[in-house]
Structure 1
Amino acid sequence: MHIIRRTLLALFAAGLSLSAHAAVQNIDVGTPLARFALLKPGTHHYLRFMRTPAGASQPIDIWTREIRFEEREGKQLMRIVQRWDGVLPTPSVRTYDSWFEAGSFRPLSHERISERDGKRVVEGFVFAPDKITGMRELADNTQKDLAVASAEPTYNFETDIEFLQALPLAEGLDARINFYHPGGSMAPQRYSFRVTGSANIAGPAGPVDCWVVKTDYNRPGSDSTFWFAKGSQLMLRQESPLPDGRVMVKTLID
């Protein structure tokens, strides 16, 4: 009897191990995304603020994200345009303009313009299968000499919210995604985004049942948490703890 019980326990443990392994999914650039159709043309606004250990909320900016589908050079492409209207530490404006293959979310180009205290900084990037380079033809591009090698094609980290919306979110999913922040100091690398459960949270029109997604951005011990509405998979909220005890919050306004 004890032998049978030990055998059943071993088989059960092995089954759990296999299930956990099966939940890990490498998301490779160029592969059609399971729920890309959830990305609809339209605009959403988020409020970003800092929550202090004392419970105060300090506004940072209003974050506008727009998805478009447009034809360029005879191809139907996706375009994501962002605008950040900041208030801290001084008024500022940032605009991002990013292009992608429709269906796969393969990044093609990314332009970023920042304006603060009368200074304007232009940055432009081109994504290729083995590298990310500065956009040579973009006027005033401060990143024109950039050349970052990548062992495999990488996704654009500055459009992660829409990208995660197109994944097959489900209980136990552990998506491993190669991301690169254009012009950043970190090399392209795989990050783990895990669906850890479900939760109801407040949305602009009332309570919403959400998938809860976590990542530590390859910094163990500092999980960021996302809430994506089931059905549309639109991100409603993100909370990211900082080393000083504050929490960066992004919450959907409309």
Structure 2
Amino acid sequence: MMVLAIAAQAQKVDTIRVGHRFKQFKNLELGTVTDVVYNEANGRLNGAIKKRTTELVQINGQELVKIVHEWNSPNEQWSGRFEYYCEPYTMKPVQHIRETKMQGKEAFKFNSNTIEGLDSAVNNKQKDFALSLSEQTYNWEVDLETYSLIPMKEGNKVVMNFYHPGGQTPPKYYTLAVEGSEKLKLANGQELDCWIIFTDYGGTQPTRFWYTKRGQNFVKMEGQYGPMKIYKTRLY
């Protein structure tokens, strides 16, 4: 049964800016997990299998979080991978390299007031990319990992600034609300007690995410963009 939060008064909304040290950083799940990602529109299904690997690495004496996503689809044009580095505890972006059959290699470096094409990446289709920032932004492509670090308690709301590297939509603050909880039963009979996180991406795409109460690990996502329904489900 889903339990929704009913607030007698307006809830406080916390702003989480890049540089904030996440007290829940221990919830960042290390290792490899596999998700099924698919969408449904006009009676047609499109899907992919995505592997997400997160680890702590040392590069030139600096500890970084390395996150790799690899997705494989029956349509090879939609297959690809990315390799992303950010700072531990803050998830402050450092470098992002994405490669797909459709777009080729797109590589970016994140500075204090700009996002630029990574000049050291060979055959970088985004080598001339440059975006000025009024303030730093989190990386949309690791939303599942980033969301797992926010404080989760029924009624909590946070706003965070996100941007998809190379995208046309500029960085923007989005609201994430812990709207309630639900106990999910898996196919193997296991029961997971989960928080439900809601965001509507500025009114364009109402979406819910389920995270376990213990450890705040991602379980599934359900969203809608116009006539298209979008799903992500972790394989156990």
Q: What is the TM-score of this pair, normalised by structure 1?
A: 0.84
* Cα distance, 1:219 vs structure 2: 2.2
1:235 matched to 2:235? The reply is: no
Whichever residue aligns with residue 9 of structure 2, its letter is: L
1:225-254 deviation line (CA, Å, top 9, x unaligned): 11111111111110111312x311100013
Q: Which residue of 1 aligns with 2:60?
A: 73
Match of 1:44 among 29, 33, 38: 33
Match in the other structure for 1:8: none
* From 95, 98, 101, the counterpart of 1:115: 101
Q: 1:144 to 1:91 in 2, by over 3 A?
A: closer
Counterpart residue number, 1:10: none
> Matches of residues 189-208 of structure 1 in structure 2 within 5 Å?
189-203=172-186, 205=188, 206-208=190-192
Distance in 1 (CA, whole Å) between partners of 2:117 and 2:186 is 39
Counterpart check, 1:103 vs 2:105: no
Q: Structure 1: give runs of 5+ residues left out of the alignment.
A: 1-12
Q: CA–CA distance in 2 between the matches of 1:183 and 1:128?
A: 14
Q: How does 1:1-254 map to 2 (within 5 A)?
A: 16-17=9-10, 20-21=11-12, 24-51=13-40, 58-88=45-75, 90=76, 92-115=78-101, 121-203=104-186, 205=188, 206-219=190-203, 222-244=205-227, 246-254=228-236
- The one-letter code of the counterpart of 1:160 is D
The number of residue pairs the alignment matches comes to 229
- Report percent identity of matched pairs: 28
User: Which structure has the highest helix share of the two?
Assistant: 1
SS at match of 2:136: coil
User: Structure 2: how far apart are the matches of 1:228 and 1:204?
Assistant: 17
Deviation at 1:202, TM superposition (A): 3.0
Deviation at 1:40, TM superposition (A): 3.4
Between the aligned partners of 1:130 and 1:144, the Cα distance in structure 2 is: 17
- Name segments (4+ residues, structure 1) moved above 6 Å: none
Contact 2:92 2:138 in 1 (8 A): yes
Corresponding letter in the other structure for 2:213? K
User: Which whole-Å CA distance do the structure 2 matches of 1:162 and 1:94 have between them?
Assistant: 19
Q: CA deviation at 1:204?
A: 6.2
Tell me the distance in 1 between the aligned counterparts of 2:59 and 2:183: 40
| Contact 1:217/1:223, CA 8 A, preserved across alignment | yes
Q: Equivalents in 1 of 2:133, 2:78: separation in Å?
A: 32
Q: CA RMSD in A?
A: 1.9
Q: Secondary structure at the match of 1:186?
A: coil
The answer (yes or no) to whether the contact 2:77–2:100 under 8 Å persists in 1 is no
- Cα distance between partner residues in 1 of 2:41 and 2:226: 12
Counterpart residue identity of residue 70, structure 1: V
Deviation at 1:168, TM superposition (A): 1.0
Indicate the structure whose relative CO is greater, using CA pairs within 8 Å and at least 6 residues apart.
2
User: How far apart, CA to CA, are the structure 2 residues paired with 1:176 and 1:69?
Assistant: 26
Distance 1:182 1:52 in 2: 26
